[in-house]
Amino acid sequence: MRALTWQGKRDVRVDTVPDPVIRDDDDVIVRITTTGLCGSDLHLYEVLGAFLAPGDILGHEPMGVVEEVGPAVTALRPGDRVVVPFNISCGSCFMCGQGLHSQCETTQVREHGTGASLFGYTKLYGQVPGGQAEYLRVPFGDSLPIPVPDGPPDERFVYLSDVLPTAWQAVAYAAVPPGGSIAVLGLGPIGDMSCRIAAHRGAETVIGIDLVPERLERARRRGFHALDLKEYGGDLSDAVRSLTGGRGPDAVIDAVGMEAHGSRVAAAAQGLTTLLPDALAAAMMKRAGVDRLAALHTAIDLVRRGGTVSVSGVYGGAADPLPLLTMFDKQLTLRMGQANVLRWVDDILPLLTEGDPLGVDDFATHRLPLEQAPDAYAMFQKKRDGAVKVLFSP
């Protein structure tokens, strides 16, 4: 089959690789019909190479049609249409029972002290082949894949793999009161969708903040306040407070993460790790890694006293300093974590089968053949051509 493989920093290629096969009795093989390019894929493209090996298959936002099922699978049969969550969870352990599927005790990567395994995402999370490919082996066939109805196009359902549950959890964790206010830092796919979900769930004032004109315009078209960070700079706090009764929003979502603009020192440190031998770079990142924390510090500054900061952007630093004095003084609540995809499906799926209130049908900005994935990675990283959400067709 054809699959997108990692070969080195900013070097991904579509190669011919062996087809996946049934390994365990509860496996299913899914023929991928649509698969997404995620902002966190760019962390693999740029920063986290120490935890990858040449030939690793990337991607964790797939959907498709079941081609083959293992002998123990009873809930699915060939021909069923499914979405595959990005975190690999058994559905039956203690953590899954708590709705914490991203902490699944069956697939935790204990060697590295991390949570549930993820499709297409480094040794830290199991080094499981990903979904930017023609076929994908999916374990826990009776509980992990999400069946979806035939008929509507893939664009209606593919975001159940990551974008929708990640944004939904970010908003749920933000705990905005009815009629309240929220600011979202970063208007990439997760930030954009977080704005839409926040408004759908009852936030009256929704403020999106970004640097990219096309992303700001998308937010304005949905009726949100859109602030250009380049325009406001150090006056951003004043601009946000002017929209929120002078005190700041009830909640702020950091949808940016480790590669935020704003810290040359941290950026240089991240770049340095990509020049070191993998073993040394991995040890350095696990013990002394630092992130560019501009977005998180901005969130802490913007949110009102007693408010909530919800972090959906991925961070990877082990030695990140936080302004604990400010956080304590402002009496903030901080919530974060990988999305627990299956926890939110029952809330989201009706919004995909009964109209399109979140605008998923035209959410993608680019739909490309998988063979063009290397160019798409470069385009998305450099925010060219209005790229917000890229979908591939294998």
Q: How confident is the model at residue 181 (pLDDT cuts 50, 70, 90)?
A: very high
Give the pLDDT of residue 321.
80
Q: Give the global pTM.
A: 0.91
**116 and 199 together in one domain:** no
* Same domain membership, residue 176 and residue 98: no
Q: Report DSSP state, residue 124.
A: G
What local confidence, expressed as pLDDT, does residue 318 receive?
58
Phi and psi at 205, nearest 5°, equal -115, 115
SS3 content of the chain, % helix, strand, coil (to 5): 35, 20, 45
Whole-number Å distance between alpha carbons of 214 and 200: 22
The three-state secondary structure class of 343 is: helix
Higher pLDDT, 267 or 99: 99
pLDDT of residue 317: 61
Position 322 pLDDT exceeds 90? no
Last residue of a domain, one of 310, 336, 362: 336
Q: Which of 336, 356, 377 is the last residue of a domain?
A: 336
Task: Indicate whether 154 and 222 sit together in one domain.
Answer: no
For residue 249, the enclosing domain spans: 164-336
Classify each residue of 73-99 as buried b or exposed e, where b means 16 or more C-beta atoms within 10 Å of its C-beta. Answer: beebeeebbbbbbbbbbbeebebbeee
Q: What pLDDT is stored for residue 275 in this prediction?
A: 44
Q: Which DSSP helix (H) or strand (E) runs through 170?
A: helix 163-174
Note whether 316 and 282 are same-domain residues. Answer: yes
- Residues 238, 332 within the same domain: yes
CA distances from 317 to 47, 236, 268, 274, 288 (A): 11, 26, 14, 14, 7
Query: Could you tell me if 283 and 218 lie in one domain?
Result: yes
pLDDT digits (tens, 9 = 90+) for 213-264: 999 999 999 999 999 999 987 789 999 999 999 999 999 999 997 654 444 4
Helix, strand, or coil here: 363?
Answer: coil
Q: What is the CATH number of the domain that holds 113?
A: 3.90.180.10
Mean pLDDT of 148-168: 97
> Does 269 share its domain with 351?
no
* 211-247 burial: b if 16+ Cβ within 10 Å, else e: ebeebbebbeeeebbbbbbeeeeeebeebbeebbeee
**CATH value at residue 180:** 3.40.50.720
Domain count along the chain: 2
User: Which band of pLDDT confidence, cut at 50, 70 and 90, is reported for residue 50?
Assistant: confident
For residue 229, CA distances in Å to 15, 236, 274 come to: 40, 7, 29
CA distances from 115 to 26, 105, 131, 254, 331 (A): 22, 8, 20, 21, 28
| Burial class for 112, CB neighbours closer than 10 Å (0-12, 13-18, 19+) | middle
Q: What is the pLDDT of residue 293?
A: 80
Of 75, 67, 62, nearest in space to 20 by CA:
67
- Same domain (yes/no): 243, 327: yes
pLDDT averaged over every residue in the chain: 91
pLDDT tens digits, 352-370: 998 899 999 999 999 999 9
Q: What is the pLDDT of residue 370?
A: 98
Give the pLDDT score at 289: 44
Greater confidence (265 vs 143) lies with 143
DSSP H or E stretch at residue 34: strand 28-37
- Please check whether residues 324 and 360 belong to one and the same domain: no
The predicted pLDDT at position 259 comes to: 56
Supply the pLDDT for residue 110: 95
Together in a domain, 327 and 351: no
Considering Cα of 240, then 242, then 247, then 251, what sign does the dihedral take? negative
Distance (Å) of CA 50 to CA 234, 283, 317, 324: 36, 9, 14, 30
pLDDT band at 49 (very low <50, low <70, confident <90, very high): confident
| pLDDT the model gives residue 52 | 94
With 50 as the cut, is the pLDDT of residue 314 above it? Answer: yes
How does pLDDT run across 286-309, given as a tens digit for each residue?
444 444 688 899 999 999 999 999
State mean pLDDT over 25-35. Answer: 98
Q: Which comes out higher in pLDDT, residue 12 or 322?
A: 12
- The domain boundary residue, chosen from 336, 355, 384: 336
Same structural domain, 110 and 150? yes
Task: Identify the pLDDT of residue 280.
Answer: 41
Q: Percentage of the chain surpassing pLDDT 70?
A: 90
Closest CA to 319 of 271, 354, 287, 277: 287
What pLDDT sits at residue 258?
67
Q: Same structural domain for residues 29 and 146?
A: yes
Beta bridge partner(s), residue 146: 83
